[in-house]
Amino acid sequence: MFLPLHDGVPLRNMKTPIMTRSLIAACIVVYLLTFYEPLGGDALVAGLGLIPSVLFGTESLPDGYPFVPVALTLATSMFLHVSFLHLAGNLLFLWVFGDNVEDAMGHVRFLVFFLLSGSIASLTHALALPTSDRPLIGASGGVAGVVAAYLILYPRVRIWCLFLQGIPLRLPAYWAIGFWFALQIVAAFFGSDDGVAWYAHLGGFITGAILIPFMRLHPDPIRARIEAQELQAPR
């Protein structure tokens, strides 16, 4: 288990990561709506969650479901979460890593990046399990894309993390995130089916790694090199 806590990388191009905070707020609002009786958790999951068998047309839902065109559930499913811990885990990753990735892209590009990473992650899950009638929900695919982008932008920055049973360590990003990614691979191909969308995590991470060179703002290389040296210096 790996939970990021703090990285300490300052924002360079903006004062406030508006889009990161907006995505966090949207996920919280949708989660709270699951407690609203007319909607309820099951109705929202059926209406906005991604069901692979429904996406590919082998199964169908009752009239009125999903709430949006079925292809859009690749994205809408990202804003649903099954429990508070599910929500908190995804939003912690987004809080720690999202601001610096948004800073490297700008607000609009970051939103597009997050939605693309999450949607392709959802599609990866659906392609891996095309006959599944279990809904896929959660922002973890988009978050995985953000984590991959952060790794490429700041590979040597040291981040505080909790590992395994809560052991605090301060490690370079390439070690901490590399450990996390290795766990996703092992779980996806060798783990048991425990309800976690491991293939979505892998799809989101790979998508984020592919997109970041094209979507980041291109900084002054001299300034970027100086800043990288400052961030890597012992503290």
Count each helix (H run) and each strand (E run) in the chain, helices first.
10, 3
Cα dihedral value 138, 143, 51, 109, nearest 10: 120
Q: What is the pLDDT of residue 22?
A: 97
Domain 2-232 superfamily per CATH: Rhomboid-like (1.20.1540.10)
> Residue 232: what pLDDT?
55
Q: What is the pLDDT of residue 53?
A: 95
Going across the sheet that includes 167-172, the strands are: 2-6, 158-163, 167-172
CB 132 within 8 A of CB 161: no
137 in Cβ contact with 80 (< 8 Å):
yes
What does the pLDDT profile of the chain (235 residues) look like in tens digits? 678 999 988 998 899 999 999 999 999 999 998 887 677 778 899 999 999 999 999 999 998 899 999 999 999 999 999 899 999 999 999 999 999 999 999 999 999 999 999 999 999 999 999 999 999 999 999 999 999 999 999 999 999 998 876 789 899 999 999 989 998 998 888 875 667 889 999 999 999 999 999 999 876 554 555 555 555 555 5
Structure tokens at 225: 């090199």
Tokens of 159: 């981040």
Query: What is the Cα 134 distance to its own chain's centre?
Result: 20
**Is the pTM here over 0.95, yes or no?**
no
For residue 147 the two structure tokens come to: 């984590």
The reported pLDDT for the residue numbered 222 is 44
Closest CA to 55 of 69, 70, 75, 44: 70
Q: How many CA atoms lie within 13 A of 93 on its CB side?
A: 28
**Measured between alpha carbons, how far is 145 from 184 in angstroms, rounded to an integer?**
13
How many CB atoms neighbour CB 173 within 10 A? 23
| CA–CA dist 70, 222 (Å, integer) | 47
pLDDT at res. 164? 72
Tell me, what amino acid is at 172? P
Q: Whole-angstrom Cα distance, residue 40 to residue 136? A: 17
Taking alpha carbons only, the member of 108, 106, 87 closest to residue 33 is 87
Q: What is the pLDDT of residue 229?
A: 56
**Phi and psi for 161 in degrees, rounded to 5?**
-140, 160
